[in-house]
Structure 1
Amino acid sequence: MRRVIKPELLTKESFKKYGEVISTENSASKIINDGFAKKHYELCVMDSNENNGKSTLHIYEAKKREFPLKISMLEKHPYFSQTFMPRSTKPFLAVLALGDEEPDLSTLKAFLTNGNQGVHYNKGVWHFPLISLEDNEQFIVIDRTDCAIQENKIEECIELELKEEIYLLNE
């Protein structure tokens, strides 16, 4: 069986089952630094403390994907959440599904950001790796570190190859 999915525009309402949309639009904010900055606070809350882990910040450099893109696998991080925020104002795509032991493909969705949005995946949400629409795009990624302490190590990522043929269009 072959399935084709098309992205829908990312909104807080359409994404809430999978996590949170990170955006300054309609966010709580306050003026700080003697009026020279505006702080948009608590846009998402990281879930990374499992087994004494801590939140850590990375920068990913992504390569442009070609479409139609075969969605051949999904992965999940069972013990921590993950946040992706573009450093540019270029849109990117996110493909996600719910499910416990395996992804529930009836919940499979693709979302297109508007370029000013990031995404925060809840702990345990199945997702396809980062989908950049441009070459060498940089993303700030926040997730968990075990602080290089053996006792803090956990199963970080579960990958599952999909049996169904699924293709993502970029339209």
Structure 2
Amino acid sequence: MTALPLRADVPEPRHIVAEALTPAAFAPFGDVIEATDAAHRFTINGGNTERFHDLAKIDPGPDGRTIVSIFRGQPRALPFTVTMMERHPLASQAFMPLSARAYLVVVAPAGDAPRAADLRVFLARGDQGINYARGVWHHPLLALDGVCDFLVIDRAGPGHNCEEITLDEAVLIEPPR
């Protein structure tokens, strides 16, 4: 079998490696949802339950109402090429994994459509959720090691709350080192 020549008009994608998901690193994009010693916590239910309190700034936006859904993400293999991003201009959107599996979070700052160079990639543990702040650009679910369910808290209401763009160049997410 003869290999086909590479097309000269298709550039090599930009390469990026996922970084650890931490509250400080993710702060420009929203909140990390996790039960840690740093969280405000207290005992409830007669001392039987520890409450990790107010972990994300859920924002349903004007005239919106908060809804709870389950999204089932199909696994993606690395390396994975990112060519598009989306954002929700009217409200925040929170994801909490229910399958205890690691997943990737691809983000870019809120504002104008991002360029490939603006992307950051985080490797989230199966016990960490994320809350995208209103208007933050992100890639749809990127489950890794199997089908993953996520509890999703987002908005229902009037107005168009999902915008998608194609990136100026492809970005190849490589496996963590």
TM-score, length-scaled by structure 1 = 0.91
1:111 aligns with 2:122: yes
Deviation at 1:158, TM superposition (A): 0.4
Aligned to 2:97: 86
What do residues 98-156 of structure 1 show as CA deviations (whole Å, max 9, x unaligned)?
1423114433100001221111111000001010013221100100011xxxxxx1111
Runs of 4+ aligned residues of structure 1 deviating over 3 Å after TM superposition are none
Q: Distance in 2 between the 1:18 and 1:3 partners?
A: 21
What is the aligned partner in structure 1 of residue 66 from structure 2? Answer: 55
Q: CA contact under 8 A between 1:98 and 1:104: conserved in structure 2?
A: no
Report the secondary structure of 2:160's partner residue. Answer: coil
Q: How does 1:11-160 map to 2 (within 5 A)?
A: 11-25=22-36, 26-50=38-62, 52-146=63-157, 153-160=158-165
Shift of 1:45: 1.7
Q: Please give the per-residue CA displacement for 1:56-106, whole angstroms capped at 9, x wherever unaligned.
A: 111011100022111010000011001010013211110000142311443
> Which is greater in Rg?
2
Name stretches of at least 5 consecutive residues in structure 2 with no aligned partner.
1-10
Summarize the Cα distance change of 1:163–1:107 in structure 2 as closer, same or farther, 3 Å threshold.
Answer: closer
TM-score, length-normalised on structure 2? Answer: 0.88
Name the SS for the 1:144 alignment partner.
Answer: strand
2: CA distance between counterparts of 1:60 and 1:112?
Answer: 19
Q: Pick one of 155, 163, 167 that aligns with 1:162.
A: 167
Distance 2:105 2:16 in 1: 12
In the alignment of these two chains, the number of paired residues is 164
For structure 1, the residue ranges without an aligned partner over 5 or more in a row are 147-152
